[in-house]
Structure 1
């Protein structure tokens, strides 16, 4: 069974903490900054399966008040049945 990768992205927008969960095949710092910009309303959200029209970089995001972008993979849950 294929595993869907889920990532938590946390950032600050004008000093206020924000976070969201996103499903993606992979994540890196540049992508996290871009997705934080999308969540903040700075960049348009790309259509599924298509690359973004313009990727927002860290310096561009910082101009709009986005700072301290961090990301991590969500934990894998193991479901077990108890009698």
Structure 2
């Protein structure tokens, strides 16, 4: 996830977003589960200590701006939902 997207997500959801050092978390999670099953780790709690924070993004958008963007997004979703193909 790039910096712009992480900051935008944090701003629009009004929550901190944490990006791990290793961003391929799906593949890493599968590897950790396999490692636990192979006996390389005793449990998933041992694996949790391997997680490292690369960067934390804090919300930096005032509520009126956030409301404006969310309202626009809701309007866009409504337009897409009402779309009827002509064929």
Same fold (TM over 0.5): no
Bigger Rg, which one: 2
* Bucket of the pairwise TM-score, normalised by the shorter protein: under 0.3
Higher strand share: 1
**TM-score, L = length of structure 1:** 0.25
**TM-score, L = length of structure 2:** 0.24
